[in-house]
Amino acid sequence: MCGIFGYIGHQSSLPILVEGLRRLEYRGYDSTGVGLHDGETINVHKTVGKVNNLKQVLPKEANATMGIAHTRWATHGGVTQENTHPHASYDGKVLLVHNGIIENYRPLRAKLISKGIELQSETDSEVLAHMIGLELENGASPQDSVRNMLKRVRGTWGICVMFLDHDLLLCARNGSPLIIGQGDGEMFVSSDPHPLTSHTQRVVYLEDGDMATVTRTSIKVASKQGRSIQTNVQTLEDSWAESELGDAPHYMFKEIYEQPDALRHCITGRVDREMGTGRLGGMRLAHSTLVQAPHVRLLGCGTAAFAAEIGQMLIEKMARIPAVTHIASEYRNNDPIINTKAIYLAVSQSGETADTISAIKEIKLKGGQVFGVVNVVGSTIARLCGQGVYIHSGPEQSVASTKAFTNMVGALTVFSMQLGRSRNMSKEQGRELIQQLQQAPHLMEAYFEDVGPIDEAVDLLANAKSVLYLGRGLSAPVAKEGALKLMELAYIPCLAYPAGEMKHGPMALLEEGSPVVVVAPSDHLKEKTLLAIHECKARGAKIILIHEKGDAIAEEGDVSIAIPKIHPWLTPLLTVLPLQLMAYRTAVRLGKDVDRPRNLAKSVTVE
């Protein structure tokens, strides 16, 4: 969500900060600002809107070699210049940027007002700057002033603090990621690894409870109590450099068409064709764990949850043991019963999803073993779990996920094979699945060579009051993912239902001309899906049908879009592609900001 970037070194900080903010744009935000320290004064520049808007109010040159910057996603207070970060203390000696939410900010705010401090914004973050300022005024060091402030607040934070009278940056983390990049005579602070890759590959990940003093030449990490912690410098992978747009009109367009190569990267080296099984060494699963697990539980939010639902069904089909998918934000708060022999999978593109992180902590607290299914190496979930599988889709710049979804499904398919072969799935079944899975990237490419009448589908979708998405079995979560994409990008209300549930309520929305998107591959549920199609058509609905090439069901659609034929258990890898393109082209037709939809963030780092 919100983004932080900081710099202290020997170069002019302004262009570095602006470029850092630009590389954080994909996270989603509504206002942005920078604070510059030239050794004598601190100057703040901020504005509502995008980084390009900020550029209009920045000086052409600045002598500052230290600064902090922020992209804000509104939580406390509206989208106004006053609420935009950075926030200054009452005396101007402290400047702060903050990601997260301070839960007890109201009584803290009231106490500041009682002391005669006039707050300039509605935010919870400004409170922190004033509290640090008061500590400094009472003689505390910068480190103690931040530490004393943190002892009095509840919530989540990733903060970077700059001081008028001190040549350093102070950073602290609790539940919101912060990474420090180590250069030569310069240091960088970021809430995300992407902006750091153009400056350095050497990074230090802060853990919850850490506080770091960052100078031009050193990083010193300490606990909240002041105990020194040894810094562990890690190396960023080259693949996490910013993805270049090239000739593509949008990042989402580019990432949709990158899916064949992304899926190849995901499955390469992870299947054993001879034995017909998956091979996920990073999960470090003992054979006894696979055989004795009573059930599998999968956790995720949004797109990750829909991928998890597909994984759940594949686990049950291949391994014949119960599997359940949970929305991570609900799971933790429902006081779950943890079976220490069960397998728990935490699915997240960013690896920073706050709700999923909280669920993992709850499971681990109660003795459960959690495995991460994530995209970002070194992310909080990856480090918290310590074991799992990277989906290797590469960086996604568009807020709406595409290639991460198919790679999550690909990774969960491989896991399901490994679990299934350890229990009851035959070698022959495993070999057939592997052969088809390895063909999936080629079939994706074949579909992209002829995507079908997507624009005819857009004609029906673009002016719709609402859109109903239907599917059965593995196609039900695919329908949910398709509905989410159209809703995210085009701001059209969408409902996704298992096709059998359509007559239990959603049918009331149907009227003459209502578009209904039906995902109907050639599986054992196709005939039942056909019944739902007939019920919709009888009420005047227009059917947008996703089907397999050569299937006679094509004649049932007002707009019929064919995908290549594939094993019924692998159809989600292909049926989702036209749904992504439909959402993308509808948003383009309506003039929406495809890569950065309103009110949304790529990485949801607050609960």
* One-character DSSP codes across 530-555: HHHHHHHHTTTPEEEEEEETT-GGGG
CB 112 within 8 Å of CB 185: no
Same domain, 411 and 537: no
Domain total in the chain = 3
Give pLDDT, residue 605: 56
Question: Roughly what angle, to the nearest 10 degrees, separates helices 572-589 and 403-421?
Answer: 170
User: Which of 194, 218, 240 is a domain's end point?
Assistant: 240
Q: Is the pLDDT of residue 539 over 70?
A: yes
Q: 372 lies in which domain range?
A: 243-449
Residue 603 above 80 pLDDT? no
Residue from 50, 485, 526, 602 carrying the catalytic annotation:
602
pLDDT confidence of residue 559: 97
181 and 61, same domain (yes or no): yes
Q: Confidence band (pLDDT; 50, 70, 90) for 247?
A: confident
Rg value, the chain, Cα? 25
Mean pLDDT of 178-182: 95
| pLDDT at 242 > cutoff 60 | no
Claim to verify: residue 236 and residue 282 sit in the same structural domain = no
Residue 600: band (very low, low, confident or very high) from pLDDT cuts 50, 70, 90: confident
- Does 77 or 110 have the greater pLDDT score? 110
**Residue 14, CA atoms < 13 Å, CB-side half-sphere:** 18
Q: Quick one: pLDDT at residue 231?
A: 87
The pLDDT tens digits for 428-471 are: 999 999 999 999 999 999 999 999 999 999 999 999 999 999 99
Q: Is 416 left (phi over 0), alpha (psi -120 to 50) or beta?
A: alpha
Between CA 282 and CA 109 the distance in angstroms is 47
pLDDT digits (tens, 9 = 90+) for 478-525: 999 999 999 999 999 999 999 988 888 888 888 899 999 999 999 999
Measured on CA atoms in the order 326, 328, 329, 331, is the torsion positive or negative? Answer: positive
Mean pLDDT of the chain: 92
CB burial of 32-57 (b: ≥16 within 10 Å; e: otherwise) equals bbbbbbeeeebbbbbbbebbeebeee
Euclidean distance between CA atoms 420 and 416, whole angstroms: 6
> What is the C-alpha to C-alpha distance for residues 553 and 155, in angstroms, rounded to an integer?
53
Query: Helices (DSSP H) in 426-571: which residue ranges?
Result: 427-449, 454-461, 475-490, 526-537
Could you read off the pLDDT of 273-315 as tens digits, one per residue? 999 999 888 888 888 888 999 999 999 999 999 999 999 999 9
pLDDT of residue 1: 59
Instruction: Judge if 176 and 282 occupy the same domain.
Output: no
Same domain, 138 and 198: yes
Exactly one of 2, 160, 171, 266 is catalytic; which is it? 2
What is the rounded CA–CA span in Å between residue 282 and residue 486? 35
Same domain, 443 and 571: no
Helix (H, G, I), strand (E, B), or coil: what is residue 476? helix
Residue 71 phi, psi (nearest 5): -115, 125
- What mean pLDDT comes out for the span 408-428? 95
- The residues, ordered by sequence, that sit 6+ positions from 62 with a Cβ below 8 Å of its Cβ are 12, 13, 14, 36, 38, 43
- Nearest Cα to 283, choosing from 408, 174, 369? 369
Per-residue pLDDT at 604: 66
Domain end, chosen from 182, 209, 240, is at 240
Residue 105: give its domain's CATH number: 3.60.20.10
Mean of pLDDT values over 132-153: 95
pLDDT at 215: 97
Residues 6+ apart with CB under 8 A from 561: 451, 452, 453, 454, 457, 544, 545, 546, 547, 578
- Based on the domain organization, do 286 and 432 belong to the same domain? yes
Same domain, 487 and 607: yes
Same domain, residue pair 355 and 438: yes
Q: Clarify whether residues 438 and 507 are in a common domain.
A: no
Angle at 19 between CA 587 and CA 81, to 5 degrees: 70
pLDDT at 386: 84
The DSSP bridge partners found for residue 228 are 222
Of 218-232, 235-249, 388-402, the range with the lowest mean pLDDT is: 235-249
By the 8 A CB rule, do 602 and 28 touch?
A: yes
Residue 607 has pLDDT above 70, yes or no: no
Q: Where does the pLDDT of residue 217 fall: very low under 50, low under 70, confident under 90, or very high at 90 and above?
A: very high
| Shared domain check, 416 and 377 | yes
Residue 366 belongs to domain with CATH number: 3.40.50.10490
pLDDT at 606: 56
Are 440 and 478 part of one and the same domain?
no
pLDDT at 17 over 80: yes
Of 102-111, 185-194, 234-243, the one with minimum mean pLDDT is: 234-243
602 classed as catalytic: yes
Assess whether 427 carries a catalytic annotation: no
Amino acid found at 75? T
Q: Are 96 and 70 in contact (CB under 8 A)?
A: no
Which of 200, 218, 240 terminates a domain? The answer is 240
**Looking at residue 245, what is its pLDDT?**
77
Count of residues making up the chain: 607
Structure tokens at 273: 């064709």
- Are 482 and 298 contacting, i.e. CB atoms less than 8 angstroms apart? no
Would you state the structure tokens that stand for residue 158, as one six-digit string? 């990733």
Would you state the pLDDT for residue 150?
95
pLDDT reading at 343 higher than 70: yes
